[in-house]
């Protein structure tokens, strides 16, 4: 879970920097087929959007900048199926990617992206008394 959240946080930083450097939107997302964004598999990617492209679909001519696989047993879900960075500061959408282990849901962690595009990692607080949410998928 730690490796998955750290890898995703690093990818979000790369995407933010790449969008600002190139002037093109850049998307980070899970992808079942290296083309569409969506939860359901362990494959993730970063791709650069060309003008007129959709944030959640890698279209012909759009380069995959990075791809990685989640570690075995790790599941991901979230409030949105992708993080899209625009080529200006303060132009991201808030979202949360949550990672958990199939057999140890108490070890879950989340990567939270603010509207400025900065990502941070959080863990459930056992002292809060709130129940730990199980892994879905």
pLDDT confidence tier of residue 105, bands split at 50, 70 and 90:
confident
Residues 59-73, mean pLDDT to the nearest whole number: 94
Q: Determine contact, residues 56/82, Cβ cutoff 8 Å.
A: yes
Q: Write out the DSSP string of 11-38.
A: HHHHHHHHHHHHSS-EEEEE-SSSSB--
More confident: 68 or 106: 68
pTM of the model: 0.89
More confident: 90 or 114: 114
- Residue 19 CA to its chain's centroid (Å): 15
Look at residue 132 in the predicted model and tell me its pLDDT.
52
Q: What is the 3-state secondary structure (H, E, C) of 72-96?
A: CCEEEEECCCCEEECCCCCCCCCEE
Residues 90-103, mean pLDDT to the nearest whole number: 85
4: DSSP letter: H
């Amino acid at each position: 879970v730690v490796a998955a959240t750290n890898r995703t946080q690093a990818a979000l930083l790369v995407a933010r920097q790449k969008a600002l450097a190139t002037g093109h939107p850049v998307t980070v997302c899970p992808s079942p087929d290296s083309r569409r964004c969506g939860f359901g598999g362990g494959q993730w990617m970063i791709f650069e959007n060309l003008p007129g492209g959709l944030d959640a679909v890698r279209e012909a001519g759009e380069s995959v900048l990075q791809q990685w696989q989640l570690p075995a047993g790790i599941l991901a879900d979230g409030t949105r199926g992708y993080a899209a960075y625009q080529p200006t500061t303060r132009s991201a959408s808030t979202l949360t990617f949550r990672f958990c282990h199939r057999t140890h849901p108490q070890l879950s962690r989340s990567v939270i992206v603010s509207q400025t595009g900065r990502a941070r990692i959080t863990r459930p607080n056992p002292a809060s008394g709130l129940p730990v949410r199980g892994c879905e998928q």
